[in-house]
Structure 1
Amino acid sequence: MVEVLSPSAPAVFDADKFRQTTRAQWEAAADAWDRWSPLLNQWLGAATDAMLDLAGVSPGARVLDIAAGAGDQTLAAARRAGPNGYVLATDISPAILQHARTAARKAGLSNVETRELDGERHDLLPAASFDAAISRVGLIYFPDQQRALAGIRHALRPGGRFAAVVYSTPERNPFFALPVAIIRRRAQLPAPLPGQPGPFSLGGEGVLARTLETAGFRDIEVRRVDSPVRLPTAAECVRFERESFGALHQMMAGMSDAERADTWREIEETLARFETPQGFTGPCEMLVGAGAR
């Protein structure tokens, strides 16, 4: 999932408006996100495996998948949990969860259920009802990360583990950070407001570990996972971002059609630096952080 910004951002971060915009963006982007599932699987496969390892997902486990999206990692968790296990995939967007249900059915996985649920409201689930919880590129976008983590701890049994995949720093993720910077400059957007969620909100040195510790998790571990985005050309990377990263369009909301076209052109020209005769490789680094309840 991606940073949600408005070209006329208020002086104080509006968490409720952010949630509404996030839901609307993912409702609109759900079909495209599902179409790009093969790329997502390749791009985030190593980080997903590390997340499932650190969460301790094993045969028979009951797993909670938060901000599950179209469900690629949901299916991976369901396969690990096996027929005697269970995975509940939650997301703020019912449209994208429909893709997760369809994918599970096509894969012959009967141990997957979905539920529309805000990422900060897992306190609504029965207490201590899951052995493991996971979130792939979701925690970074919750307006109140501590509230979200409190709900996740509520749903985990004592000793159960939570693991999350997040971006590290902008410098290590130029495939995404460069487009955001170009749009921000061209749209004359202000810097992110204090406390505003976004892709790099947990990427700084020690931030993810401290966030988990503050929430009461113990035995914390954080791993760095090299996760390059590999595509035939920079133009294909731009197509992926245009179709799937709805927040980039939101940032351009105040631009004319011509200005938007020029902005995408500059983004493609900038990302072309990552093209080689073998194709496009966009540098990306993910962090996988985990802890026990």
Structure 2
Amino acid sequence: MTVQRPDPRSVKDEQRETWDAVSPGWERTLATFERGAATVTRRLLELGGVRPGHTVLDVATGLGEPALSAARAVGASGRVLGVDISPRMLEAARRRAAGLGNVEFAVADAESLDLAPGSFDVVLSRWGLMFAVEHAGLFRSLARLLRPGGVLAAAVWGAPARVPMMALGHAVVRERLRLPPPPPGTPGPFSMAEPGPLAAQVRRAGFVEVSVTEHEVPFRVATPDGYAEFARAVMPPGVLRAVRETFGSADDPGTWAAVAAAAERHRSGDGALLLPSTALLLRAVRPAGGDA
């Protein structure tokens, strides 16, 4: 059976609208998310070897990480550029960057970056590459942007069953609505969840010294209702629209009570929820003296 590829333009338009719509929710729940996600940011800076004086690109920076942490690491002699498809996300990133003079943000599509080849020492991305329509082209583009010997360090999500922080709420709501799964090949948070194929794709793009390792992200949420609030805040607008059409309101109590009930099984001895979630950490190098 032939799998029909999604139309890139319509996908990008939908992604821009989606991320703009969920930006306030992400900003509102940022502290909850960052308590776990900060461990990934630190590891990416280590994998990338980010140091003073470096020029760093953060692809799909969202609310500004790891760009903000990279800006502190490169110091006054370095420079960081964070790009994202969502203007509203970047408004929040700029607010968070107040006082940092070595970081800037620009609205741009990661798959069509108009930047000079070889202009970055390090390319970072934290949970953004998975939303690309054409993975092979994305990695070739990122390789071109790195100087010879430059490093790509990125985090993507593992399999959904191992990422309850992001997958649990979405799965409960989709099951309650009886929504079909997305068509094969649809960009999404779990489109790079297999380490072997991911590493092979990166090698084919011209990178060397490719490694993909697992990292357990220690997400912790105070209560099941708190998790349901997080899931509601970051739920894509299309899913919320389906909740509203089915149950009369996007805030349907039964829907979010079902999410909270599903989260109960993650309750720990002190009463909080522990939702350890698997990230795949990618590190790859553009060959020194070679064309990527």
Instruction: Please say whether Structure 1 and Structure 2 have the same fold, judged by a TM-score greater than 0.5.
Output: yes
AA matched with 1:274: H
Q: Is the 8 A contact 1:234 1:272 kept in 2?
A: yes
Corresponding residue SS for 1:276 = coil
Q: Could you tell me how far apart the structure 2 residues matched to 1:149 and 1:245 are?
A: 28
Q: Could you tell me how far apart the structure 1 residues matched to 2:34 and 2:97 are?
A: 15
Correspondences of 1:87-236 after superposition (within 5 Å) = 87-105=80-98, 108-122=99-113, 124-236=114-226
1:274 pairs with 2:269: no
Corresponding residue SS for 1:171 = helix
AA matched with 2:102: N
Quick one: structure 1 residues 155 and 20, their matched pair in 2 at CA, closer, same or farther if it must change by over 3 Å?
same
Please point out which of 26, 49, 63 is paired with 2:56: 63
State the Cα distance separating 1:249 from its structure 2 match.
2.6
**Which residue of the partner structure matches residue 6 of structure 1?**
none
**Which residue of the partner structure matches residue 76 of structure 2?**
83
Please say which of residues 172-181 and 228-237 is displaced more in the overlay. 172-181
**Which residue of the partner structure matches residue 43 of structure 1?**
36
State the Cα distance separating 1:15 from its structure 2 match.
3.1
**Residue ranges of structure 1 left out of the alignment (5+ in a row):** 1-9
Q: Is the 8 A contact 2:161 2:167 kept in 1?
A: yes
**Which residue of the partner structure matches residue 4 of structure 1?**
none
Please say which of residues 280-289 and 37-46 is displaced more in the overlay. 37-46
CA displacement, residues 185-241 of structure 1 (integer Å, 9 cap, x when unaligned)? 232322232211222211124132122112221101222111132011111111112
State the Cα distance separating 1:18 from its structure 2 match.
2.1
Number of equivalenced pairs? 281
Corresponding residue SS for 2:106 = strand
Q: Is the 8 A contact 1:228 1:285 kept in 2?
A: no
Please point out which of 10, 13, 19 is paired with 1:17: 10
Q: Could you tell me how far apart the structure 1 residues matched to 2:248 and 2:269 are?
A: 33
State the Cα distance separating 1:169 from its structure 2 match.
1.0
Q: Could you tell me how far apart the structure 2 residues matched to 1:19 and 1:70 are?
A: 18
AA matched with 2:103: V
Q: Is the 8 A contact 2:170 2:231 kept in 1?
A: no
Quick one: structure 1 residues 250 and 18, their matched pair in 2 at CA, closer, same or farther if it must change by over 3 Å?
farther
State the Cα distance separating 1:36 from its structure 2 match.
2.6
Q: Is the 8 A contact 2:165 2:275 kept in 1?
A: yes
Q: Percent identity?
A: 33
Correspondences of 1:246-285 after superposition (within 5 Å) = 246=236, 248-249=239-240, 252=243, 254-257=245-248, 260-278=252-270, 279-285=272-278
State the Cα distance separating 1:97 from its structure 2 match.
0.8
State the Cα distance separating 1:275 from its structure 2 match.
1.3
CA displacement, residues 84-134 of structure 1 (integer Å, 9 cap, x when unaligned)? 0000010001111111112111xx210001110011112x11111111001
Quick one: structure 1 residues 24 and 276, their matched pair in 2 at CA, closer, same or farther if it must change by over 3 Å?
same
Quick one: structure 1 residues 11 and 234, their matched pair in 2 at CA, closer, same or farther if it must change by over 3 Å?
farther
Q: Is the 8 A contact 1:83 1:111 kept in 2?
A: yes
Q: Is the 8 A contact 2:212 2:282 kept in 1?
A: yes
Quick one: structure 1 residues 246 and 290, their matched pair in 2 at CA, closer, same or farther if it must change by over 3 Å?
same
**Residue ranges of structure 2 left out of the alignment (5+ in a row):** 287-292
Query: Could you tell me the TM-score, scaled by structure 2's length?
Result: 0.89
**Which residue of the partner structure matches residue 289 of structure 2?**
none
Q: Could you tell me how far apart the structure 1 residues matched to 2:141 and 2:241 are?
A: 29
Q: Could you tell me how far apart the structure 2 residues matched to 1:184 and 1:13 are?
A: 21
Q: Could you tell me how far apart the structure 1 residues matched to 2:77 and 2:19 are?
A: 31
State the Cα distance separating 1:181 from its structure 2 match.
2.5
